[in-house]
Amino acid sequence: MARTSQLLYPQREPAPLRPAATVLLLRDGPGGLEVLMTRRSMTASFAPGAYVFPGGGIDAADAQAHGMAQRRTKQSDLHLTQAIAAIRESFEELGILFARHADGRWADHDDIAAIDRQAAFAAQCQARGLTLAADQVFVLAHWITDRDLPRRFDVPFLVARMPEGQTPVADESEQFEPVWVRPVDALTRHEAGQFFIIFPTIRTLERLKAFATVDAVLLACAVNDEPLWTSCPRAGWLAGNEARYMEHEAPFGELALVTPDGQIHHQLDWRTDQAVPLLQNVQRLTAPNPGVMTGPGTNSYLVGDPNTGYIAIDPGPADDEHLQRLWRAAGGQIKAIVCTHSHPDHSPGAAPLQALCTHKPPILGLASKPTSRANSRFTPERELADGEKLVLQAIGVDGEITHTLRVVHTPGHAANHLCLVLEEDGLLFSGDHVLNGSTTVIDPPDGHMGDYLDSLDKLAAACEAGGIEFILPAHGHVLGFAHQAITHLKAHRLKREAKIAAAMQALPQGSLQEWVEKAYEDVPPRLWPVAARSLQAHVDHIREQALS
């Protein structure tokens, strides 16, 4: 975790969470799966005017009604309480009675007419001999309201099949205009400005699109009886508008690092004209070299502060304006320049950046190997040892301040690749070894898949041992959940390698191009020439393993 002294914004306590439950009532329509939605009151305190799924807060009475509810074997007490709350809210808001008689019959119009929506729900059901059908209510997702909002809820999104023979009738106080809609149609209408829905609803509908029938949804939810996903989104500014992201989306980790308490301050637009502060002691400057291989551009980082001076990581290409911005952002106080590896979008800027500095900082890194390409030759003034520490230290107004970068040798993407760990703040500067939004190319002979996978294991171990939470890559936004991201990346690589091995087995005399087309059929053909380079590395690794 980053030191609180290095955070950009004052810490604050997010609003407390309130337990609630929401239910997606589903049916199979003539055009496919449909979900019931209603419009919230324009005076509602939360999401006024939005189309939502029925639901509301969990009452103490919901937990006390376990004895009159049917439950599944794997249904926990918590999920049972949530299901009962969803059943109650569905009745209070829409007059849908999710209950059965002792003989198994669903509640009918007479039962619905006899129960007062404003009175105690469970007691009235019990008086009519009804049992709540909580066993037919499954957990789809778990949403926690964004940290920046003044009213926050901890709410499962539940799913159930609409009881036959019942018709939703809105209470006309909290909910209006019940409508059955296909997820794809709701999303299309929202994009056209005709059907206002909020972020969790949008993301839930996007995932619901993948299911063709009610049975398919319920079966997926019944497998483990746990949420298919859990999310507490984060927000930043993009193109002048608020933009929200789930945990698996590229900007989430950066928002978690810069504004851990959820304030909406951080700009996510890629800037090449100025430094982007990530912490008090970390700045990112992106070179103006966007492209297929570089994404939005190569990220250069400055670690340090005006008292300690700065270490520049990956000065990037020899772009005069970019290097001038790096120098100015450091106030000219660059103590060292470190290149994570020798590729032409990382190391050529080192010497001209050094020339800008009055006190010539050393250029550090690892020398390129004979296997490197001609445009990737690099010789540092001093080679860095694995585990070596680069320390910035000074006495400031608040006492001694230290920023320690530990070197981690990570061959694989390039033979001379290294990463850096900012020990005090749990940050990993990953160069090209781990990227955000794409997988790095392993290009033999300087790139080596076996070394790359071993280096991933080394980084995963470093993250676990050092409490590293964030990865700052040379391309893309900051990644969160560092250990999980590295573990997922290795699994992805091995899954791809298995597809390549299968292609080789199916076409033993095939060419690289034929293997690429078979193993990378999920990748756009325009990227196959790049994929072929990593495929060769996988082929080499497969053959090396066969010989070992």
Residue 361 amino acid letter? P
Please name the residues in contact with 118: beta carbons below 8 A apart, sequence gap of 6 or more.
92
For 273, the token pair is 């004209």
Three-state SS sequence of 393-427 = EEEECCEEEEEEEEEEECCCCCCCCEEEEEHHHCE
Global confidence as pTM: 0.93
For 417, the token pair is 């690749």
- Pair 338, 429: CB distance under 8 Å: no
Fold that domain 17-232 belongs to in CATH: Nucleoside Triphosphate Pyrophosphohydrolase (3.90.79)
CA distance 317 to 352: 10
Residues paired with residue 352 on neighbouring β-strands, in sequence order: none
Strands (E), 232-323: 234-238, 241-245, 276-279, 282-286, 299-305, 309-313
Q: What is the pLDDT of residues 119-152, one digit of tens each?
A: 999 999 999 999 999 999 999 999 999 999 999 9
Tell the CATH superfamily of the 273-485 domain: Ribonuclease Z/Hydroxyacylglutathione hydrolase-like (3.60.15.10)
Please name the residues in contact with 110: beta carbons below 8 A apart, sequence gap of 6 or more.
none
Q: Would you place residue 328 in the very low, low, confident or very high pLDDT band (cuts 50, 70, 90)?
A: very high
- Pair 341, 419: CB distance under 8 Å: no
Please determine whether the domains at 17-232 and 273-485 fall in the same fold group of CATH: no
Nearest to 275 by CA among 307, 250, 312: 312
Q: What is the pLDDT of residues 211-222, one digit of tens each?
A: 999 999 999 999
Return the domain boundaries, the chain. 17-232, 234-269, 273-485, 494-547
Nearest to 81 by CA among 122, 37, 118, 124: 122
Q: What is the DSSP string of 77-105?
A: HHHHHHHHHHHHHHHHHH----EE-TTSP
Residue 202 has pLDDT above 90, yes or no: yes
Owner of token pair 């851990």 = 260
Q: How high is the pLDDT of residue 48?
A: 85
Please name the residues in contact with 20: beta carbons below 8 A apart, sequence gap of 6 or more.
55, 56, 57, 58, 85, 153, 154, 155
Q: What is the pLDDT of residues 458-494, one digit of tens each?
A: 999 999 999 999 999 999 999 999 999 999 999 999 9
Residue 372 has pLDDT above 90, yes or no: yes
- Pair 23, 89: CB distance under 8 Å: yes
State the average pLDDT over residues 391-405: 90
b/e per residue, 397-415, with b = 16+ CB within 10 A? eeeebebbbbbbbbbbbbb
